[in-house]
Amino acid sequence: MATPPARKPRGRLLIMATATALLATACGSATNTGGAASDGVITLSMHNPDSRTQDPATWQLVEEFNSRHPDLKIRLEGQPVEQHEQRMTIAAQSDTLPEIFWVYDSLAKTMVKDGDLLDLTPILQEKNLEAKFSLSMLAAFRSGDGIQYGVPYQALVTGFYYNKALLDEHGIALPETFDELLAAVKKLKEEGVVPIAQGANSSAFSVWAFLTMLDRFGYEQKYPAILAGNARYDNPDFLRLYGHVRELAEAGAFPENMTTQTYAQAVASYTAGKAAFLDAGVWEAAKIEKSGVGRSTGFWAGPTFADGVGEQKLVMNVPSAPFVVSAKVKEDKKKYAAVKAFIQFYYSDEGQQILVDNAQPPVTTYRPQVDPRKHPVFAAVLDEAAKPGWKSPAAQPDLVVSAATASAMYDSFYGVMSGSLSPQEAARSVQKSLK
């Protein structure tokens, strides 16, 4: 992942030269939002190099918008997450940000402090768009002084997909507690089945279900003090969780090729019926439905822990990292009009239905009807996210820290899963990233 974004220095000549060189070699030329004449073309920069296959909902939204607005056009581009974060950090320093872009909230918070981001409040107040969001969806991306610097890109619902037929074949009920999960893992391993599909190669971020487990050990209550230096990440509660992850690893929960296969390959192993569980999120629902295991797949928020801290009935159903807009857009009337029109289309009921059609839950209060006979996996995800008596944290743990700390968190889990780090070493590595 990218290093923590630096504050803008007063002298910019060196930064400009460095930014130009890095963007040219690693990311392509930077988007130019200036110029005497405007053609109304704006760039939407994403964290996927191929949105058509990796994020079909966004791709379809852009295609539909462009077909309806021949005088305005969105150019969709993207890079892998780490490269994208680096590019946006450099672009902010060199005043070459694209008009709209996805970014981790930790970096967005730095950008809004530096005056790089547009206040979206006026856009959201038009057509009463603001009323379409629940308070938490917008509050997550509002600064202390009231600037609405971002809007939720998608809802983030994560956990474990599971193959009901495979579990039934081996006489295993869906676990509820960690002890039940551990027992299921041992039995699956003994009978030659990969218990949990994981892929760490170039995909270290793919530990979503384990990030939810952090919240079951008090992360949401602890992290403000940890970031302030008044508490430590390598605390006894988190160490117990890492100890449980080691128990899973020692029981054979993860594939032998976990460190060499990618997340996409892990998904492929699950859809091929070679693994009982898959650590993923709602974005995989459509793909799984089209696979051979679609009709036998359910969705699970993950185990509760007898030695956990605080609320155990947690399901991750939070706003994803935000869309943000470059402050320079306001200097160009046609680009501003394009940005406004796209945001208003994206969060309209029609735009949200396009998300739903691509097996993404709406981020507004729009309530679509999903036929479980046609979309059983997507319906299972929505049902688990709305399970009576269960709550959601306010944010996913990695989205409230710097990119460097988020990366350290991912590596810490995969380090314990692979046996390359002890629980103590893993937690200490995250603590070191905070200094």
What confidence score (pLDDT) does residue 17 get? 37
pLDDT higher than 60, residue 82: yes
Q: What is the pTM assigned to this prediction? A: 0.78
The pLDDT of residue 38: 63
By C-alpha distance, which of 161, 172, 187, 159 is closest to 293?
A: 161
For residue 79, pLDDT beyond 60 = yes
Q: How many helices (H) and strands (E) does the chain have?
A: 19, 10
> Given 1.25.60.10, 3.50.50.60, 1.10.510.10, 3.40.190.10, which CATH number is that of 156-315+373-433?
3.40.190.10
DSSP alpha helix (H) spans, 263-348: 263-271, 285-289, 333-346
| Cα–Cα dist 81/85, whole Å | 6
- CATH code of the domain made up of 13-152+321-346: 3.40.190.10
pLDDT at 135: 82
Q: Which helix (H) or strand (E) holds 247?
A: helix 236-250
The overall longest dimension of the chain from CA atoms, in Å, is 69
* Coil vs helix vs strand at 120: coil
* pLDDT over 60 at 1, yes or no: no
- In this predicted model, what pLDDT tens digit does every residue of 392-409 receive, in sequence order? 998 999 988 988 999 999
pLDDT for 13 beyond 70: no
The confidence score (pLDDT) of residue 7 equals 31
Q: Spell out the domain ranges in the chain.
A: 13-152+321-346, 156-315+373-433
pLDDT digits (tens, 9 = 90+) for 322-363: 999 999 999 999 999 999 999 999 999 999 999 999 888 999
CA distance 428 to 424: 6
3-class DSSP assignment, residue 141: coil
Residue 25: pLDDT band by 50, 70, 90 thresholds? very low
pLDDT at residue 214 tops 50: yes
Domains 13-152+321-346 and 156-315+373-433 share a fold: yes
Q: Tell me, what's the pLDDT at 33?
A: 39
Q: What is the mean pLDDT of residues 136-155?
A: 93
Whether residue 282 contacts residue 360, with contact meaning beta carbons closer than 8 Å, is answered with yes
